Amino acid sequence: MNDSISSGYLLPHNFGVERLAKQLGGDAHCRVGETASFSLHYFDSFDWRLHAAGLRLLQMRSPRGTVVRLKPVAGGEPIDSVAFDAEPAWPADLPDSRLRAEVAKRLDMRVLLPLAAVHGEVTDLSVLNEDGKTVVRLQLLNMRCDSADVDEPRVLWPRVRVLPVRGYQGDLKKLSDFMSIEMEWPDAPDCMFDEVMAAVGREPDDYSSKMNVSLSPDMTAADATRKVLRDLLSTLQRNIPGTRDDLDSEFLHDLRVATRRTRSALSQVKQVLPESIVADFKQRFAWLGQVTGPVRDLDVFLLELPRYRASLPGSMATDLDALEEHLHIAHGKEQASLKRELESARMYKLLDDWHGVLNAETLPGEPALFADQPIEQVASKRIWRMYKRVLKVGRAIEVDGPAEDMHELRKDCKKLRYLIEFFQGIYPKKELKELIRALKVVLDNLGEFQDLEVQADKLRSFAKDFDPQDPHSMPTVMAIGALVADLLRHQQAAHERFADCFHAFDSAENHAHYTHLFKAKAKGEAQG
């Protein structure tokens, strides 16, 4: 087919099928067929994981039935389709298929959410030649779209879709010329996706848990820091509904990360915001970290459970059933209490007050010492100091030293990472990426070390909820014992790997990067 021929044209509003048929030459040249209704929903995770993998998932309902289809974003043939009538949420609910496997692989622990819906009517038209033979088929489309983000449906531009009939290219060309040149109808885009998303005010990757605040080096420290904190507040707020309704465990996770980063910014970006504000909100965000903790702990266990089962001998795997039930019951209780906290006046006031501070023209009280200094100096100084601290603490760690040393180092590494992430906008991207990667190796090792210990401790405390004398509980207690032993073995292994991980961080090359990026810029401001 000729590439210059459009796949469709946008029509003037209120251009009904009768007018279209008339324009095409009336009954002798055009036959109007059936009109059918359809609806279509796009799905992805809250953080667009399918889109990031170049995939698009949609569910089409029409008189032909309901089909869920996975397509490449780039266009082309669908990857797989399944008949599925209910609203897709968890991949496990979908029929066993390639589609399910592909979606599950990308989503991990995330649930599918509807992004937008399109409702429409499609009318078939046939353009006929002098023999009465169909030579081009057309579809007149009238569509509206809506989503949870808009109050009322948005009407999309009506359009006519051109479906070539094979072997009648000449007629197709003639009709296309008529539509584009004579009628001057503009080409319709080949794919509706962008138009639908724009209509409901969404766009791919409009949410990401990763930080990426654009800053300029000469912004004042106070302005830059508040901008970073506004970004964190927005992330935090966007995750509240999903956390409250427990849609998936990642909402709470992202909410907690945003809270932790906020607290870290408050304590690590020193003397930039007024001391009274810092002290007040440090304590109030500490409360939020605390009330969100219990559900997250249980989430971690429920997510880890399949791995725990796999680590036990086959004959013991079902011995964890009672633990799973126990975790679910505890989760239900903690989730209910978390929901209450998130809906409380205290939470509402925290967000409202914080919003006020971050958006106020001027901050109350004495301006902090470094508030008006350029952010480049303040940030560089903080990062450089934290880097030196990490080196000092890390170099002092011994293979058989106390676990606390590892925990302390982890806290410092996290502070360093957060500082770099907050202010990444003022440093060269490529070099920073290298730094974060090297730091992440150490952090992953320290994180594993600590998580395994925490999990082992928690499992021990869960075991106390089962009576070892009760013959029904005994296998569960024994399975937990086996798990704890396994976790502690892995923790030991993580400890032994530490030296290697840290060695890569503590390299001359890495040091050169830190020196180049932060040291000189920090020095200019050493009087602080």
Partner 1 sequence: MKIIGVYNIKGGVGKTATAVNIAHLAAKSGLRTLIWDLDPQAAATYYLRVKPKVKRSEKLLRGKGKGELDDVVKGSDYANLDLLPADFSYRNMDLLLGENKKPTMRLLKLLRPLSKEYDLVVLDCPPSISLVSENIFRAADALLLPTIPTTLSLRTMQQLLDFMEGRKLMTPVYAFYSMVDRRKRLHQDVIAAPGDPRCSVLETVIPYATEVERMGIERRPVTDYIPRSPAGLAYQALWAEAKAKVGGLNPMVDLDALF
Name the site residues for partner 1 (rule: CB under 8 A).
38, 40, 42, 58, 60, 62, 64-65, 67, 69, 71, 77-78, 81-83, 118, 122, 124, 126, 131-135, 137, 139, 141, 161, 163-168, 190-193, 196
In angstroms, what is the minimal distance from the CB of 151 to partner 1? 23
Non-local (6+) Cβ contacts of 279 within 8 A are none
- Other CB atoms within a 10 A radius of the CB of residue 434 amount to 12
* Closest CB to partner 1 among residues 42, 281: 42
Cα–Cα dist 8/122, whole Å: 13
Judged by beta carbon, residue 101 or residue 520, the one nearer partner 1 is 101
Which one, 193 or 418, has the nearer CB to partner 1? 193
Dihedral pair phi/psi, residue 427, rounded to 5°: -120, 160
By C-beta, is 12 or 78 nearer to partner 1? 78
141 CB-near residues (< 8 Å, 6+ apart): 120, 121, 122, 158, 159, 160, 161
Least Å distance between CB 170 and partner 1? 13
Angle at 107 between CA 106 and CA 112, to 5 degrees: 130
Find the shortest distance in angstroms from Cβ 143 to partner 1: 9
Contacts within 8 Å (CB) and 24+ apart, 316-319: 316/475, 316/478, 316/479, 316/482, 319/475, 319/476, 319/478, 319/479
Question: Closest separation between CB of residue 81 and partner 1, Å?
Answer: 5
CB of 133 to partner 1, least distance (A): 5
Q: Which is nearer to partner 1, 87 or 352 (CB)?
A: 87
| Closest to 19 in 3D by CA, of 120, 174, 125 | 125
Q: Whose Cβ is closer to partner 1: residue 7's or residue 209's?
A: 7
Q: Report whether 446 contacts 412 (CB < 8 A).
A: no
Least distance in angstroms from the C-beta of 1 to partner 1: 12
Question: CB-wise, 137 or 260, nearer to partner 1?
Answer: 137
The CB-of-40 to partner 1 minimum distance in angstroms stands at 6
CB of residue 451 vs partner 1: minimum separation in angstroms? 42
Number of helices followed by number of strands (H, E) in the chain:
17, 9
Q: Which is nearer to partner 1, 56 or 417 (CB)?
A: 56
Q: CA angle, corner 501, sides to 496 and 505, nearest 5?
A: 150
CA dihedral sign, ordered 349, 351, 352, 357: positive
Task: Map residue 63 onto helix, strand or coil.
Answer: coil
Encoding tokens for residue 23?
A: 């324009």
Cα distances (Å, whole numbers) of residue 187 to 20, 128, 177, 180:
16, 22, 12, 8
- CA triple 386-388-394, angle to 5 deg: 100
**Rounded to an integer, what distance in angstroms lies between the CA atom of residue 153 and that of residue 31?**
31
Nearest-approach distance from CB 268 to partner 1, in angstroms: 46
Nearer to partner 1, 25 or 78 (CB): 78
